[in-house]
Structure 1
């Protein structure tokens, strides 16, 4: 269950989001709105980033303890939130040491740090590394524009628990920043210097600001000196050890010199001790040591496991849990299988049969599905697991070269291990000892099996859930194979670390499915576009501009109040229409120069010229001032007449060629309701491997009509050499990602809108057919409006017909484009008609 602290913060962040991020810096608004438009980040990543920004800019970047205290208006609610019963609270109310005791409880809960220390808890697969990178970029941009604002970091240090995590954290440097930063801020990131401290020999020499340092915490952590009984070592010391310590001290010294430093702790549960009551580990001590010299901007902790002994860590400000990850389609649905009283060989046989029967070698996003076997020791793997597994595989005709062994005595397989989640890897059975837990991101891993009981209970949790990261359309379910003993351990660890259980995960259903749209082939088309330019040319001398002041009628601009309503008359209630009952007078006290200034603002005539206009039309300074102050509406009357007579307007048109792209700013994410997920089609799931279609993958159709028509077009047009390609463009109706749209007058929205057609068919002869699919029920209104339309804007009443008119404007300069609306694309008769039209087009 989420804490009161977390619930309060998220309520405030939600209100702030709904209110349009009021109070945020201008650069922040640009970044947050850009991120929302591009849709590269998962929704949980965006929510976590919003929380980070809110606590920094609106909350003042305060320590958690201060924020917690500010939540409660009275002491009783504060004590309840601290877990004090009403009876204990009543007794404490009369205790002379009440204040001290409450302070002790608060410090026990949040610590006594005087810097912002926040925990962001996001389940595996939800993108903590990218989130960390975006937080840094946001800080760097804001610190660039607000150099003296100490809320924003100019440098970042990332603590990782081990070298495996460091490898995965290289994504901070390699991901495409253009997906989260508007163009005007992208030059700032050129100043970033990256320092990955992968071993004890790597020196650290940060330069200036905008440094990102990523290190295994052991490489810069404070060391505890131990006495050495060897006299020689005491006198001279171990040279290697002394050199290492010298480097470590130099690293710490270099980091302490950095200004406005923010620290990010990955897999942060490592630094919170085994229990909430336990002392913090070395990472925490190092953080406090750095803070003593140069105050830290903040410490941001990221973890997937925010619970310790089934109690949420106090500093959690954002939480997106394991169950939510499955529900939103970010993680696979999972089936956890328990095997009781089975022999080891029988256990392996059951696993191989289930895995191979369910997944086999059917590729997912071009990758072979994989299963990871976690062994308790290298000897157990080599003497028991591997021989039995290979024997079972041989008996079933599965090639044993699909097996990969990786542990500290098989480091020669390291490169093969890190390329497992690629299309070129042929390995499917992965045997591990002490590898493949935190930080291992392998989406094609669909099953995990724990062979024997490991030494650590938390290892059961970390290893068995590695296979939950989503892949493709996320219809693939994961399998976790456990012995009875490990099953009980996993259930216990789920309750302790996720406040969940095996039974809940087994029954958790997806409500939405998240898909990442990727570019398969760049889609572009060259078109002609008419550019219109309205040019205003000044006519003659200002003194020649005539204004007929006799035509000014103040009553035309008069403000008034109308009254109407339902009134009683002869005992009967009747409605009386609103009628003007009194005038509202508006008098001003403007000077002549203020009046001239207003006219200048709207006409762009020089002030001296405006005075000449007034003089030439018999209006002296005092007369004009008096009349305007009595009738303020005289000002717009004068402006309208000057614009009408002072300028002549010319329209210049120019036809230019432009390249429209269908594949801009990819990849990005979409979220689809589970019930509509059948309309999402992946290229690799299609029976044929045709050349047509799938410029992006997957296609997300709006209707069964669109999906069926696409499959039909691929089938019938595939043999034709005259057809270059078939694009489904209607699934991405965002100009940030898709240039192919037409502007039209929308009768529903009462304004100019953008229309993204469903399909575009391109021929080798440079001709195109635009296709729009509609339900048969929309046909009658479309035909009625088309017949009655006389050319007037007011006569456009049907959206389908309005879009067709928008295309006709485009077609007037692009004669090589044709247009076709299909009502009820499921009908074979309509499909055949379309096919005939395409054949004519391509001849």
Structure 2
């Protein structure tokens, strides 16, 4: 019984503990510190794809966050294996030496404190990670379907190649990429890798390099060989897993095979003439043709250096099959893709190179009741629907219906629901999944034809794709691939075992599945096909299932997404897309401060004071306290008695050991001065070179925070001037099509028509609808609109993509780049003074980014004769806003 209890406890831990949440929290809370260790080229690549930095950035939020995590694992953690990362995180060692207890953000963006992970919980998860570890780093990115995993994967490969070209000897970067897909359908979709416009995700100065150097190789047909040059770089090999996977040999060699199959040993014994030419006979290649194509590809892969492996659509298998594909519980004799990758990694290592890492892109972080241990980033199905990356769901289950009745009900409802709908000029499509070819041809197709006749829809709108040339011609296959083209006339698609994965038909709006298939997970895979987003607004996907399939779907959702059918139906139901129109074009006068810096070089002198003195204990403590790692251990001595013991773990922090040459090189690079000149300055300084090396090795941060700035001040004089420049700006630009589309939670949408109950509603609503991000914003709005001391009130925080000229530019403390910030409110007080207000969550108020926004906003406000106020969310909800009016 005790063992059973312990096993159930372990199962509970593995089912609930998601390390990727803690990893993301650490990254988010320390983004500035982490980015300081990135190369400039890496920062440039990230900034180009960051929507906060580049308004034209192409990647969606989950794609960019996953890219951030990808770079974080590589640049900051050095491609460490997940179990080592987890161990260092728990022990506060290495790169996590400065980690503090934090929180995990919930779906509303609020941070909730979590309990410290216990040693027992840690051991259970760590043991799981160790059992499934590989000889190479193995990461899982779990992004639900429709969020753009293929584009994300392409972006990661482009990033790898750009960095590998710049630093070819750095083992962190991939020189070649092997992309594995589970089946032919996904393999076809991966052609997007080659056709995808690089300029969308690659800074313009690197587009030509990639276009010129990348070579794509597609292994589609059984007889296709891989023709990469040995030790070449920048190859992208795209293959169905069956084309590279190692196969077991089931057939024993006959006596004749043994006799006539010459070996290297036979030729060596035959004399030097044959022995010298032995390599021409290809003894490493088997003779059987099927085995030859498999091994030829595998052998070719072993001759490429610095190989990165990308497993796309790893979620084609769920549950136990997904566990096997990920190597969980797989035996050494398994002939799975994971085993092939393990063998490939071993062969590359023996050749003096390596598999840099294996990156798996899957749709779920779960295998049944267990969280996959190597997930490093996850973005779930419900979040994707809530944030409009997928359609909302209309799901209907039917009982006691024969095939013809079910089909007619489904077709009628689908046609009624999509009547007049033509997103992007495409006709909405509906897919019927049959359990067999016989059912598709002899039952389902006639039933669909009868349902269409009743609605005067021609039977030519039907397309049958069952994988049998007798019923599906080449023209049908071509039509199937062109469903998302405006000229496509097909609308009702009958499928057998098709379109489960990799079928990216965005105009698919309906799925019907009546008979129970052999595979239960097929219900989940088929149902999700109609949820891909299309157009500039969120549409609805319609799913029609028998009662039995509905129960299967509910179970599969719980197993793979930790949600129910009701959760799926309810996702995004609390959100609404509204058309926002301009009631009152408002123009205001503001003054933006233009700062000019003038740099004058001083006469070069010796004796620079670097402002540190290790002998002065008090001054040294003041200088270094912020770099020390202090941990408090709290012990309960009895009722009401608590003892706090503080331990200094600074010595355990990971740091570099600098030599004088390294310090001179780093300073010279930053100041753009001769290394000989820098060496002379450090040597002749008040503290001297030896002391400088000592303090930098004690606290690496002092090199950039103290030594370099002091030398800069010794070499240059900086003066600045501030010039206020007055502008008249539009609070909101009038949209060309007459309105803006904005999506928000229904309870945070306030329309002008909601305001008659407020007698002073005329004081606001320069737009006919306000969409608030949070309850504190909405509470403050109603408080201020009722406040007698407020003459005019404008909510300005909802249009943040160039629809307003009322913005503040600030310097981001992490990237040092100039960014744009749109405050939440602007209101006019009774005395005529204008006040700018920003509402922030309590946990965000003191962050460097918010403080940087505040600093630049206050400069603009003062220059414009305004006031800037930053108010905490809890104060807004508590109606504590009096200081805004004083």
TM over 0.5: yes
Distance change >3 Å, CA 232–CA 755, structure 1 → 2? closer
Give the structure 2 partner of residue 290 of structure 1: 344
Query: Offset of 1:396 from its aligned partner?
Result: 2.0
Give the structure 1 partner of residue 465 of structure 2: 406
Give the structure 2 partner of residue 195 of structure 1: 217
The reply to whether residue 422 of structure 1 matches residue 473 of structure 2 is no
Give the structure 1 partner of residue 241 of structure 2: 217
Q: Give me the TM-score of the superposition, normalised by structure 2.
A: 0.57
Give the structure 2 partner of residue 356 of structure 1: 415
Structure 1 residue corresponding to 2:744, chosen from 661, 673, 679: 673
Alpha-carbon separation, structure 2, partners of 1:434 and 1:348: 19
Contact 1:119 1:315 in 2 (8 A): yes
Contact 1:360 1:369 in 2 (8 A): no
Give the structure 2 partner of residue 583 of structure 1: none
Alpha-carbon separation, structure 1, partners of 2:29 and 2:234: 32
The reply to whether residue 77 of structure 1 matches residue 128 of structure 2 is no
Give the structure 1 partner of residue 130 of structure 2: 107
Give the structure 1 partner of residue 398 of structure 2: 339
Contact 2:136 2:358 in 1 (8 A): yes
CA deviation map 1:337-376 (0-9, x unaligned):
1111122211111101110111135211211111110000
1:621-632 pair list within 5 angstroms:
none
Structure 2 residue corresponding to 1:497, chosen from 549, 556, 560: 560
Give the structure 2 partner of residue 28 of structure 1: 42
Query: Offset of 1:335 from its aligned partner?
Result: 2.0
1:304-323 pair list within 5 angstroms:
304-323=363-382
What SS does the corresponding residue of 1:141 show, helix, strand or coil? Answer: helix
Distance change >3 Å, CA 795–CA 4, structure 1 → 2? closer
Distance change >3 Å, CA 702–CA 462, structure 1 → 2? farther
Contact 2:424 2:534 in 1 (8 A): yes
Contact 1:781 1:798 in 2 (8 A): no
Give the structure 1 partner of residue 632 of structure 2: none
Q: 5+ residue gaps in structure 2?
A: 1-14, 93-115, 262-284, 349-353, 579-595, 599-670, 672-709, 721-739, 751-764, 772-796, 811-817, 835-860, 868-886
Query: Offset of 1:469 from its aligned partner?
Result: 1.0
Query: Offset of 1:22 from its aligned partner?
Result: 2.6
Distance change >3 Å, CA 236–CA 408, structure 1 → 2? farther
Query: Offset of 1:19 from its aligned partner?
Result: 4.7
Structure 2 residue corresponding to 1:151, chosen from 172, 182, 188: 172
Give the structure 2 partner of residue 62 of structure 1: 80
1:586-597 pair list within 5 angstroms:
none
Give the structure 1 partner of residue 314 of structure 2: 268
Give the structure 1 partner of residue 295 of structure 2: 249
Structure 2 residue corresponding to 1:6, chosen from 9, 13, 20: 20
Give the structure 2 partner of residue 713 of structure 1: none
Contact 1:366 1:423 in 2 (8 A): yes
Distance change >3 Å, CA 232–CA 34, structure 1 → 2? same
Structure 2 residue corresponding to 1:121, chosen from 142, 161, 173: 142
Give the structure 2 partner of residue 821 of structure 1: none
Contact 2:245 2:335 in 1 (8 A): no
Contact 1:158 1:213 in 2 (8 A): yes
Distance change >3 Å, CA 743–CA 268, structure 1 → 2? closer
Distance change >3 Å, CA 640–CA 32, structure 1 → 2? closer
Distance change >3 Å, CA 204–CA 795, structure 1 → 2? closer
Contact 2:749 2:770 in 1 (8 A): no
Name the stretch that deviates more: 356-365 or 162-171. Answer: 356-365
Contact 1:82 1:106 in 2 (8 A): no
Give the structure 1 partner of residue 754 of structure 2: none
Distance change >3 Å, CA 755–CA 508, structure 1 → 2? closer
1:597-616 pair list within 5 angstroms:
none
What SS does the corresponding residue of 1:186 show, helix, strand or coil? Answer: helix
Give the structure 1 partner of residue 183 of structure 2: 162
Q: 5+ residue gaps in structure 1?
A: 85-101, 516-533, 537-600, 602-631, 644-668, 680-700, 708-729, 747-752, 757-773, 784-792, 800-843
What SS does the corresponding residue of 1:314 show, helix, strand or coil? Answer: coil
Alpha-carbon separation, structure 2, partners of 1:311 and 1:54: 25
CA deviation map 1:540-584 (0-9, x unaligned):
xxxxxxxxxxxxxxxxxxxxxxxxxxxxxxxxxxxxxxxxxxxxx
Query: Offset of 1:394 from its aligned partner?
Result: 0.5
Contact 2:248 2:335 in 1 (8 A): no
Name the stretch that deviates more: 336-345 or 10-19. Answer: 10-19
Give the structure 2 partner of residue 716 of structure 1: none
Query: Offset of 1:305 from its aligned partner?
Result: 2.8
Query: Offset of 1:39 from its aligned partner?
Result: 2.5
Give the structure 2 partner of residue 717 of structure 1: none
Alpha-carbon separation, structure 2, partners of 1:462 and 1:488: 14
Distance change >3 Å, CA 241–CA 218, structure 1 → 2? farther
Alpha-carbon separation, structure 2, partners of 1:755 and 1:78: 44
The reply to whether residue 178 of structure 1 matches residue 202 of structure 2 is no
What SS does the corresponding residue of 1:430 show, helix, strand or coil? Answer: strand
Query: Offset of 1:242 from its aligned partner?
Result: 2.5
Give the structure 1 partner of residue 106 of structure 2: none
Query: Offset of 1:795 from its aligned partner?
Result: 9.0
Q: Which of the pair has more CA radius of gyration?
A: 1
Name the stretch that deviates more: 144-153 or 306-315. Answer: 306-315
Name the stretch that deviates more: 224-233 or 19-28. Answer: 224-233
Distance change >3 Å, CA 244–CA 227, structure 1 → 2? closer
What SS does the corresponding residue of 2:505 show, helix, strand or coil? Answer: coil
Alpha-carbon separation, structure 2, partners of 1:224 and 1:495: 36
Structure 2 residue corresponding to 1:47, chosen from 41, 62, 65: 65
Give the structure 1 partner of residue 543 of structure 2: 480
1:766-777 pair list within 5 angstroms:
none
Distance change >3 Å, CA 76–CA 167, structure 1 → 2? closer
Contact 1:311 1:496 in 2 (8 A): no
Query: Offset of 1:54 from its aligned partner?
Result: 0.7
Distance change >3 Å, CA 155–CA 361, structure 1 → 2? same
Query: Offset of 1:267 from its aligned partner?
Result: 2.1
Number of residue pairs the alignment of both structures matches = 567
What SS does the corresponding residue of 1:139 show, helix, strand or coil? Answer: helix
Alpha-carbon separation, structure 1, partners of 2:360 and 2:454: 49
Query: Offset of 1:676 from its aligned partner?
Result: 11
CA deviation map 1:11-39 (0-9, x unaligned):
22212335572311111111111111132
Alpha-carbon separation, structure 2, partners of 1:126 and 1:755: 26
Distance change >3 Å, CA 456–CA 640, structure 1 → 2? closer
* C-alpha RMSD over aligned residues: 4.7
Query: Offset of 1:447 from its aligned partner?
Result: 1.1
Query: Offset of 1:254 from its aligned partner?
Result: 1.2
What SS does the corresponding residue of 1:187 show, helix, strand or coil? Answer: helix
Alpha-carbon separation, structure 2, partners of 1:366 and 1:400: 21
What SS does the corresponding residue of 1:348 show, helix, strand or coil? Answer: helix
